[in-house]
Structure 1
């Protein structure tokens, strides 16, 4: 549990990753699978969308997002030509439902905003896809207080270039900033810029 009161009041800025930090990434991916399955059923009539959706959801829960198309292709005989449609939906899907922030993170962001501290969203992955997620997020007005950066536009994590630029461009010392993310790359990312790290 992360509470704003637990942070050093001398912190002037908070940096967040997006996926599985501010919201559950599966909420995006499962909608992509839903759209793809319905598209495929409409074009080819088989497999039934419900069967493909259930398979992809189960595959995601057991093996993660990697290799889902390959697994579905093997089981359902999906034509290779549809791989690009699958990948395009990941990047550009118009989701039927808004993505919702974790309640805990919504509360934290609102408290940071009220306290007039800076908020940076620094996210890894395909910038088009990450921007699409951001556009489908229900921010509750917080979007007006976010500054967004895509690490892959400069250098992938855990190289600290984006963080160093943020510090420089906003006249911040590393000691005045905290990065909130998931263990692994995010932790090393913060360490490489000498920024405090908090895991969620």
Structure 2
């Protein structure tokens, strides 16, 4: 797997997405489902929270987030009025357990910080949701070094997110490495920015230790 030593030493900043980059997205969602199940049991007495939690976990793992409330509502005869609470808990949940950074990401960020690199969270999606996730991360002191940028929030203010981030931090496109979850990251007008899938930091080492970066 890759480590800080494999990253181009000329990079001045590392940009990180959140979900499945800093920590597993499911670590947040499964706690949300747990909280919703207990809220429903407390309010209606049925279904039993343990049963609903297991159902939501299994349905998520097999089918993903799409239509999850509808699946549960059909299986347990849940009144659709609770859809609002289900959605709200996603945004405002007070998690019972901290979200732990992947060890590889914790090591990477610590080492990069010691070498004077800027650590920038550059996340898309609902800013309220993403901020709530970040509030529940066990940062191990890294919160003093990390700056957070919400792409959707910047777009709503009329900014091009990447241009804004670069300008505010005195960076050029070639100065940064964007670490994302895989696939095609949503980085509008990101020409010249190298990107690297987070999975490369979790995979077993290969014959070549040279990281392959994709130019966006």
Task: Tell me the distance in 2 between the aligned counterparts of 1:27 and 1:196.
Answer: 28
How large is the Cα RMSD of the aligned pairs? 1.5
**How much does 1:10 deviate?**
0.6
CA deviations 1:113-134 (Å, max 9, x no partner) are: 1001101001111111111111
Alignment coverage as a number of residue pairs = 196
2:190 matched residue in structure 1 = 192
Runs of 4+ off more than 4 Å:
none
TM-score relative to the length of structure 2: 0.87
Unpaired runs of 5+ residues, structure 1, are none
What are the ranges of 5 or more consecutive residues in structure 2 without an aligned counterpart?
A: 199-216
Residue 147 of structure 2 corresponds to residue 147 of structure 1: yes
Deviates more, 1:139-148 or 1:161-170: 161-170
Q: How does 1:106-145 map to 2 (within 5 A)?
A: 106-145=106-145
Measure the CA separation in 1 of the matches of 2:2 and 2:100: 18
TM-score (norm 1): 0.93
Aligned 1:34-183 pairs, distance under 5 A: 34-155=34-155, 161-183=160-182
State the 1:146 CA deviation. 0.7
For residue 155 of structure 2, give the secondary structure of its aligned residue in structure 1.
coil
Structure (1 or 2) with the greater helix fraction: 1
